[in-house]
Amino acid sequence: MDGERKPIVAIDGPVGAGKSTVARAVAQRLRFRYVDTGAMYRSVAWAALQRGIRLSDEGAVTALAQSLQIDFVTDPEGQRVLVDGVDVTDLIRTPQVSDGASVVSVYPGVREAMVAVQRRLGADGGVVMEGRDIGTVVFPDAEIKVFLDASLDERARRRFEELRARGAGADLESVRRAEEERDRRDRTRSHSPLRAASDAVVIDSTGIPADEVAARIVQLVQRRLRA
């Protein structure tokens, strides 16, 4: 891969499909940069909540998104997310912020602002970027496109276990309902709805360990590089 532009690996899919875990593993194995675009929308929601901006106020939220400086910094402990210089890595992982991200991400102006940042981060290639519309909107010409899916029950279980590990109170059925509602919002929004790109490789991760899914994607990249 030295001496030539490295490819862009786009990984899309619904919440709870395992995108973050898999994308991080793929990036680590390939020594590519990892970008979690969902963290950007979480950051917008967090910033709005911190400033007392109503998430239903599309104009105010969009203006905020356009003004924020969102950066990703890699350190020995992993990737940190900074908003205007403040480390929000842990602050954006609460259920309240997750729900807020689902609300603000439907606003066209917010998505346009975030897509501009995402394109800048991936412009030079050598990046694994995960989200909802990477292969369809952000980088429709990405060399590798994967749509990672899983059953609703599986995704709800994963999210429930994640919340429980963080000490957040939740029950499985309420988590399942929340996942179902986020699916509805993501798939039916007018701007950049969640869907698999026509040339994406679709992987159902239900019951499959994350490292096995990551290995399959690494193989896809390696085959592409040898072609």
Q: Could you read off the pLDDT of 10-29 as tens digits, one per residue?
A: 999 998 899 999 999 999 99
Distances in Å between the Cα of 169 and the Cα atoms of 95, 173, 180 are: 9, 12, 19
Residue 195 tokens, joined: 């869907």
Residue 227 neighbours by CB under 8 Å, 6+ apart: none
Q: What number is the average pLDDT over the span 175-198? A: 87
Q: Note the pLDDT of residue 170.
A: 77
Q: What number is the average pLDDT over the span 143-161? A: 94
Q: Could you read off the pLDDT of 35-88 as tens digits, one per residue?
A: 999 999 999 999 999 999 999 999 999 999 999 999 988 766 678 999 999 999
3-state secondary structure of 136: helix
Q: Which CATH class, in words, describes the domain spanning 37-124? A: alpha beta
Q: Note the pLDDT of residue 76.
A: 62
Residue 204 pLDDT greater than 90, yes or no:
yes
Q: Which CATH class, in words, describes the domain spanning 8-32+127-227? A: alpha beta
Task: Say if CB 223 and CB 140 are below 8 A apart.
Answer: no
Q: Note the pLDDT of residue 201.
A: 97
Instruction: Tell me where in the chain the CATH 3.40.50.300 domain(s) lie.
Output: 8-32+127-227, 37-124
Q: Could you read off the pLDDT of 84-135 as tens digits, one per residue?
A: 999 999 999 888 998 899 899 999 999 999 999 999 999 999 999 999 999 9
